A and B are shown apart, each in its own frame.
Chain A
Amino acid sequence: MFSGRLSAAIVAVLALMPAPAPAAVITPEAAADILRKSDVASLAPESFRARLRIDALHQRPGPMDIEVWRSGDAKSLVRFLGPNETGKYLLRLDDVVWFLAPGARKPIKMSPARRLRGSASIDDVLGIRYGRDYGIERATETEEAGEPLVVLDLAARSKRAPYPKIRYFVRRATERPVRAEYLLPSGKTSSVVEFLEWREGARPVARRLVITDRLRSGLRTEVTLLEMEERQIPDGLFDLADPTERSRLEERSSEAGG
């Protein structure tokens, strides 16, 4: 009786309330365009050599420098530049990552999700291909600090995708990514990458990004682009079995150092 009247009243009040304003919906074509223009990995030059510094902020050991050689979508090589790291490489051929070390005769297969330093995984450093491995599930618009952002909810469509779901925030005005939230199958956020600085040019490249590990008490890792040069890369550098070209690399850098 009484409860019946109460529920009637609640229904009445709800009916009178204004419906929430629907988020501005973006057409699928527009969304696909935004993703293409903001896809960091695809934006990067086809073939380049870069030096990166990875620093797990406020953690020991300190920053680590690496050199990244990339040739096309399929081949990349990470060279470790630390004083005791001579001869150590990570080699990515298609989606398989190999670790090469002077103490080990054979390359060791690695998971791309393996952390290099702090929360920075191999994937984070070599880039996740949003455009290639993910499909847009939903595109909405929101506002942060007075700036309109496009939010793309991405879902993995390839086995190579490291995370099942990504929420990708892109600044409407510049079409540059602001951040990416990587979600676990449970829907829980595992980590967040914020793109903080850009190297402008014909092909803009993120110059500083910070990865926050939401699973490990907010551990923050900063990745900084120290230098970058667009250039052709000899294919021998990516030869899994033959280290000749790579050892030439070591010789040259030791000459430069000495």
Chain B
Amino acid sequence: MSEPHAPRRPLDPESAPPIFEASGLRKRYRLGAFTIEALRGVDLVVTRGEFVVVAGPSGCGKTTLFNLLGALDGPDSGSVLFEGSDLGRQTSGERTLFLRRKVGFVFQSFNLIPVLTAYENVEYPLRIDGLGRAERRRRTEEALASVGLAGRMHQRPDQLSGGERQRVALARGLVHDPRVILADEPTANLDSTTGAEIVDLLARTNTERGTTFLIATHDPAVIERSPRRIRLLDGRVIADEGAGARRPGGVR
């Protein structure tokens, strides 16, 4: 199948391949007699290794967009290609494997499993993927170390601070080494200092591991640090700034 649409922006000199190619994404919600047009035709290309912020006020459709990119939901029309393959054509088994291996999620309210310790939360994606015990241990400890939580890994989420929890969530998102992390308002529940630390962590991970990051936010402190800022309003992309810049490190 040929590419359904051409990328809008010139590619990076290193010509990394696109990881997401979204085109014509529409999504409506029906609330009784009302219909809310959450996305009204969104086109988007994200290349591998990019660090992208999707910015816009609350209710503009960020979460809806991320759900479509992360295959947690399907669009009413339009399509999302992930590394060239159409997410809409996945079987439910393929979708489970996609979620398990290809993406990592970071949520605004952390969404840790409360009955599991920090270690177990991070280990969980490896466990459901059937990895061996030694491998699990190595990767879990590594992921926890990379978010700076090596010392507190046997605490339950309710014994951790917000920042620590979001670090655990990030470690869980990273532990299986996904291609992309979709972080939906990762700093909204944190104070600004902690939020800044988390953004630092995301940026560093992007630099060090080359993981693609898409971050939904309306926090100016986060927006200004991103090399590429896609502005969303009322379900439409109204601006795509700094396209082409790939590393957040370059901004600093």
- Tell me if chains A and B make direct contact, with any CB pair below 8 A: no
- B interface residue numbers (CB < 8 A to A): none
